[in-house]
């Protein structure tokens, strides 16, 4: 067994050379580390003809905190295998794994450097016509083919065991469902939000809804999730959309990934009020974000219906009317998890640059207040949602 050691530029380069599968033996290679994430090291290795690969290595602790926050290295295996599983059914929108080494907690990936991270693009006001459709295809395809509708029970139970991810799930459980709703040293918000936060924490209906969502996160292994879908884990260009970084992957409720993604679009919506000064330009971007959400919801539902009608293997799940009831519950979960994403990104530990980097303090506060209110309303109204149009109309009513 190879001994684990964290790479540096030199050892990362030597490791790629030792594999002998990506570059010619006499290629002149360079390597640099460019990761800015919270958990891992990320290197780009390239030759003089601009052929390149990405080497990602997990550290045994959270990089953003240090060794005081230890983490399992097994998350590297989970990330690589989620990408492989999702890539089997949705290669068009999943980053490709070229090699994985569990002993070194290292994965070699295709280099998506010709594309850009969605978060930065949206912050800059750039739009992508196919984003909603592509993400919906990814969510629908990956969630269907790893669900009870398609997998046989024995296979699914074995896969649930393989993708048990307790340490990273515990991070999600704390940051999404616990910390924002109590006094916690990890929380981070301005004093001007304190009254709004206190009212939120005193709302028993909201707290019960959060409890239901947390319980479902614990106990509903509906499909193999990405587990950390935000606009920083999506690469885009005019033609393509690809998801990366599913190290939080596990079998959980289908609505979690979809809700997290929509929540990030809404965070950007709130942020643009403090970023774009020209009203026509701001309206155009707001319309784009809302249309992308609508497209994503509708295409996800339609794609899931089509897949289930054509490929459901379990006889009981083919009962007339059950599919529609199932998808309605997924939609309600999506709405609720969207609300938790908005709230935790506003008052919890991990904020988003969309809002956090608004230069004007008063505008930043307005964006935070809007995000918090929208998250609260999505949670309070989740169980009354009966259709994608209900979801969309509720969003419209609170952002305008």
Same domain, 106 and 222: no
Beta bridge partner(s), residue 99: 108
Alpha carbons within 13 A on the beta-carbon side of 360: 11
Other Cβ atoms closer than 10 A to 164: 12
Last residue of a domain, one of 53, 79, 110: 110
Other Cβ atoms closer than 10 A to 145: 19
Same domain, 342 and 393: yes
Same domain, 267 and 321: yes
Query: Which domain CATH number covers 347?
Result: 3.90.1200.10
- In this prediction, residue 1 carries a pLDDT of 45
Give the chain's residues under pLDDT 50: 1
Same domain, 144 and 57: no
Domain of residue 95, residue span: 9-110
- In this prediction, residue 119 carries a pLDDT of 98
Q: How many domains does the chain have?
A: 2
Same domain, 306 and 180: yes
Selection from 123, 334, 142 nearest residue 231 by Cα = 123
Instruction: Tell me the chain's radius of gyration from C-alpha atoms.
Output: 21
List, for residues 332-384, the tens digit of each pLDDT value. Answer: 999 999 999 999 999 999 999 999 999 999 999 999 999 999 999 999 999 99
Domain annotation covers residue 53: yes
Q: How far apart are CA 108 and CA 16, in angstroms?
A: 9
Residues 6+ apart with CB under 8 A from 140: 299, 300, 303, 304, 307
Same domain, 90 and 143: no
- In this prediction, residue 35 carries a pLDDT of 76
Same domain, 243 and 353: yes
Same domain, 156 and 189: yes
Domain annotation covers residue 3: no
- In this prediction, residue 2 carries a pLDDT of 67
pTM: 0.97
Same domain, 131 and 38: no
- Angle of the 255-272 helix axis to the 361-381 helix axis, nearest 10: 150
């Amino acid at each position: 067994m190879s001994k684990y050691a964290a790479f540096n530029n030199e050892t990362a380069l030597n490791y790629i050379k030792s594999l002998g599968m990506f570059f010619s033996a006499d290629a002149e290679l360079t390597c640099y580390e460019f990761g800015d994430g919270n958990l891992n090291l990320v290197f780009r290795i390239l030759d003089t003809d601009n052929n390149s690969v990405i080497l990602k290595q997990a550290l045994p602790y959270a990089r953003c905190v240090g060794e005081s926050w230890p983490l399992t290295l097994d998350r590297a295996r989970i990330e690589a295998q989620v990408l492989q599983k999702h890539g089997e059914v949705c290669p068009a929108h999943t980053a490709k794994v070229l090699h994985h080494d569990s002993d070194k907690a290292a994965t070699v990936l295709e280099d998506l450097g010709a594309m850009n991270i969605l978060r930065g693009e949206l912050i800059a006001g750039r739009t992508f016509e196919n984003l909603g459709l592509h993400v919906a295809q990814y969510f629908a395809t990956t969630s269907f083919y790893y669900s009870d509708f398609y997998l046989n029970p024995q296979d699914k139970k074995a896969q649930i065991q393989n993708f048990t991810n307790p340490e990273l799930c515990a991070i999600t459980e704390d940051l999404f469902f616990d910390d924002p709703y109590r006094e916690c040293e990890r929380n981070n918000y301005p004093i001007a939000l304190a009254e709004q936060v206190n009212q939120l924490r005193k709302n028993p209906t909201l707290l019960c809804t959060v409890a239901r969502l947390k319980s479902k996160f614990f106990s509903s292994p509906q499909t193999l999730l990405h587990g950390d879908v935000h606009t920083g884990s999506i690469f885009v260009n005019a033609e393509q959309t690809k998801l990366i970084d599913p190290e939080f992957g596990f079998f959980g409720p289908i609505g979690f990934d979809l809700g997290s993604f929509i929540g990030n679009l809404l965070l950007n919506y709130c942020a643009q009020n403090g970023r774009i000064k020209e009203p026509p330009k701001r309206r155009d971007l707001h319309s784009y974000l809302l249309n992308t959400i609508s497209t994503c919801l509708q295409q996800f539902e339609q794609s899931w219906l089509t897949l289930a009608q054509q490929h459901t293997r379990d006889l009981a799940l083919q009962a007339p009317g059950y599919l529609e009831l199932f998808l309605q519950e997924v939609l309600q979960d999506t709405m609720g998890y969207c609300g938790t994403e908005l709230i935790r990104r506003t008052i919890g530990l991990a904020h988003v640059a969309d809002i956090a980097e608004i230069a004007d303090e008063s505008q930043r506060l307005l964006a935070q207040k809007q995000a918090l209110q929208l998250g609260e309303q999505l949670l309070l109204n989740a169980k009354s949602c009966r259709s994608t149009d209900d979801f969309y109309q509720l969003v419209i009513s609170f952002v305008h």
